[in-house]
Chains A and B, each alone.
Chain A
Amino acid sequence: MTDVSHVDAALRHAVATGDEHPADAPLSVHDLTVAYHRKPVLWDVDFDAPEGRLIGIIGPNGAGKSTLLKAVLDLVPTASGRITVYGKPYREQRALVGYVPQRESVDWDFPVDALDVVAMGRYGKIGWFKPVGRMHREAALHALERVGMADYAKRQISQLSGGQQQRVFLARALAQDARVYLMDEPFAAVDAATERAIVEILQALRAAGKTVLIVHHDLQTVSEYFDHVLLLNMRVVAHGPTEQVFTPENLRKTYGGRLTLLEEAANAVARRGSAE
């Protein structure tokens, strides 16, 4: 723990980001550093998500994109950093944040149907011990309708195609009726119909003033889908409106010419950690 924050402090000057965050940003990440088994995977990430925008999180494999979402959601331990949602600590604002995990993160052989999964987005509103009531079932069904899956409500989830499973996950987050959405590769390996459905939903969310952060792989569609991009490779390479930030120069910084020193430092920290 201590050694990480030590290196972290040393690097803070290298990745200079202001300490001022707007108080009412939908999501602010303050100086976030994350380490797996003492090996840092995210260095000093610091940014604000502007409200009502679709924000793409772009970077090569192993850049820490999924880890960033998980760290924001308090699913992985952080070495340092603070997350605020609309100016208050994330833990107090969980209900405002919807999460769409990677499709592979669950066992799709699980004995539930599509509607059961989507209804899980309502559990927070239902509260402890109570079964899923009619009102909440209808809300879940409505969410399924929005992703074009109403006909599949009673289908066991293993019988759905990959794209349909992805839409079920999206519907679960919609059912929660959050203000900030974090989506981990919703476009990964989906069919064209699903891709269109997701894009439509994203645009509807933006129109409703929601803020959506999306981990994305396909560079070709970035300019088309996202208003903002966050270029990430262990640290924030660049962040801002797509037309300003999504430049060949920044992409080269993100993908090519890895910061070898940064990686070496990470490995050194990991080695020293395991030697202790």
Chain B
Amino acid sequence: MLRVLPIAVLVLGGLGVCSVLGQSDTGTLTDSSITWPGWAALLRVLTLQDYNTRVVVLGVACLGAAAGLIGAFMLLRERALLGDALSHATLPGIGLAFMVMVLFGGTGKWLPGLLLGASISGVLGVLCIMLIVRTMRIKQDAALGIVLSVFFGLGVAVTGIVQNMGSGHAAGLQSFIYGKTASMLLSDAVRIGVAGVIITFACLVLFKEFRLLCFDAAYARSQGWPVTLLDVVMMALVVGVTVIGLQAVGLILMIALLVIPPAAAKFWTTRLSRMVFTSALLGGMSCSLGAGMSALVPRLPAGAIIVCVAGLFFLISMFAGPARGVLARWWDQKRLVRSVARQNVLRAIYEVVESSDRDVPGAVTFDELVGRRTWSPREVQNALNCAIRGRLVRPDGFQRYALSDEGRQAAWRAVRNHRLWELYLITHADIAPSHVDRDADRVEHVLGDEMVAELEKLLADTHPNLTTPASPHRIDRAFHVERETA
């Protein structure tokens, strides 16, 4: 339940956006010239009443979802940064494609031509990295840095030359670097949508193959799966989404859409299918939210805001994610500490009762417990409260405590684990009896059934009474104090 809830909230948020998209058809067709966002403007954007905003938000949402989807597999294939090199390497291709088209008498702004150029040089960049890694003794990170910067530098140079060629349209090339979300046309959004459908379909069909490839490529190859072909298909999908997304968020920030959503999704789930879905959802949401926000405030570049929103989602996921988020880990830690304290107090009661005659049968006083080990009265009280809440210990109201039936069972197990480990250390590890107590203190809480069975087998020959073995050392406060000072 804990895991499903946040995902459900995210889904509902997404659905809300979608339903608004579907219902609203009354938006004006005029260009939105928003100044500072008032409530009315905020409402206008949030409800997507404006045609332009609607196109942009829908378009980038598709882009974010598609990038999140394929990015999840890239991340798991440990090739996330290859996407960064790829997107930077597209720039020279764009400039060269522009040049070629101008030379052949066009305006140079024919988008399919530019995107083709981008794809070719992007793929060339990735091939360069692979070639360098395979043939030279240069590691992947260095190869990435070399190719990324050289291609980008080349791209900046080429676009500079293009701008000097005197064709007035060349200024538009800059938008590939930083992105120009606000000027997205319906045709752009449709193109992104088609790419998204193709990527989704490919990931669904190849889900099993991608899972195998990402988890254990060597095993996949030993089974005869064409690992290189699968990698090429995956890379082609990444090239596709990158090239399509260049205009929207720009090539510098494209990597964010490929990496941040899947990295955030890993905090929410430990199942691949859910992680991929969550990643797509987070990608789509950061994009639509970011684009919406940039529509509110003039001169706020959408690409940058989208990445910031994605980063915010990542932070939230890192803290609140139930799979391995900070809060979840903190909670687990706290639970472990509590269970250790509870076991300690149970064992203390058990051993006090075991070692002396009682005025009240089975009951020990608070002071006796405090004297058992080196712990503060406060710690004892907390542990006792915890055990009382769990109905393992019964207080009698006179500062005396006795084990319940259930508590005695748990205490016996703790005592037994503790002593089995002590005996094991003494007989098999040659550690002096006076030194085993502290060690066993740590280990008794983590002994699993399999390890206990193993201990029983090892000790069976030498120790007749393994049901409740006697302690191999004196049990009293003095013993502990002695250990402290030693």
Contact = CB atoms under 8 A, between A and B. Distances in A.
Interface of A: 37, 70, 73-75, 91, 94-95, 97, 99, 101, 105-107, 110-113, 116-117, 120, 123-124, 126, 128-132, 156, 158, 172, 176, 191-193
B221 A37 contact: no
Interface stretch (B47-55, B263-271, B476-484): B263-271
Interface in B48-100: 76, 78
Contacts of A112: 211, 215, 271-272
A260 B208 CA distance: 48
Given A73-B221, A172-B219, 17 more contacts: A75-B221, A75-B222, A95-B224, A105-B218, A107-B215, A110-B76, A110-B214, A111-B266, A111-B269, A112-B211, A112-B215, A112-B272, A123-B208, A124-B224, A124-B225, A191-B450, A193-B453
Contacts of B451: 191
B209 interface: yes
B141 interface: no
A96 B137 CA distance: 35
A195 to B, nearest CB: 11
B209 A128 contact: yes
A110 B323 CA distance: 12
Interface in B440-473: 450-451, 453-454
Contacts of A116: 211, 272
B298 to A, nearest CB: 42
Given A120-B212, A129-B205, A111 B275 contact: yes
A105 B217 CA distance: 10
A34 B315 CA distance: 47
A115 B274 CA distance: 16
A193 B221 CA distance: 31
A120 B222 contact: no
Given A94-B223, A95-B224, A106 B207 contact: no
A120 B221 CA distance: 12
Interface size class of B (residues with CB under 8 A): 20 to 34
A130 B209 CA distance: 9
26 contacts: A70-B218, A73-B221, A73-B222, A74-B221, A75-B218, A75-B222, A91-B224, A94-B224, A110-B76, A111-B269, A111-B270, A111-B271, A112-B271, A112-B272, A116-B272, A120-B212, A120-B215, A120-B216, A123-B208, A123-B225, A124-B224, A128-B209, A129-B206, A131-B207, A191-B451, A191-B454
Contacts, number: 83
A120 B219 contact: yes
Contacts of B266: 111
Contacts of B453: 193
A123 B218 CA distance: 14
**Which of B219, B272, B275, B453 has the most A CB atoms < 10 Å from its CB?**
B219
Contacts of A105: 216, 218
Contacts of B211: 112, 116, 120
Contact of B208 (A106, A107, A126, A172): A126
Interface string B270-312: 1110110000000000000000000000000000000000000
A116 B453 CA distance: 29
A101 B208 contact: no
Nearest to B78: A107
A191 B451 CA distance: 9
Given A131-B207, A191-B450, A99 B222 contact: yes
A37 B137 contact: yes
A227 to B, nearest CB: 24
Nearest to A126: B208
A97 B221 CA distance: 12
B364 to A, nearest CB: 36
A94 B266 CA distance: 34
A26 B453 CA distance: 39
A62 to B, nearest CB: 18
Nearest to B270: A156
B14 to A, nearest CB: 21
Contacts of A106: 215-216
A126 B208 CA distance: 10
A73 B212 CA distance: 17
Given A105-B216, A132-B208, A191-B450, A97 B222 contact: yes
Nearest to B265: A111
A170 to B, nearest CB: 13
A16 to B, nearest CB: 31
A101 to B, nearest CB: 6
Nearest to B225: A123
Contact of A131 (B137, B208, B219): B208
Contacts of A101: 216, 218-219
Contacts of B225: 123-124
A193 B458 CA distance: 13
Closest 3 CB pairs of A and B: A156-B270, A94-B224, A99-B222
Nearest to A121: B223
A268 to B, nearest CB: 18
A192 B223 CA distance: 30
A152 B454 CA distance: 20
Nearest to A69: B222
Contacts of A128: 209
B28 to A, nearest CB: 45
Contacts of B206: 129
B223 A111 contact: no
Contacts of A95: 223-224
Contacts of B271: 111-113
Contacts of A113: 270-271
Contacts of A124: 223-225
Given A111-B266, A131-B208, A193 B454 contact: yes
A112 B206 CA distance: 16
Most buried by A among B223, B224, B453: B223
A200 to B, nearest CB: 15
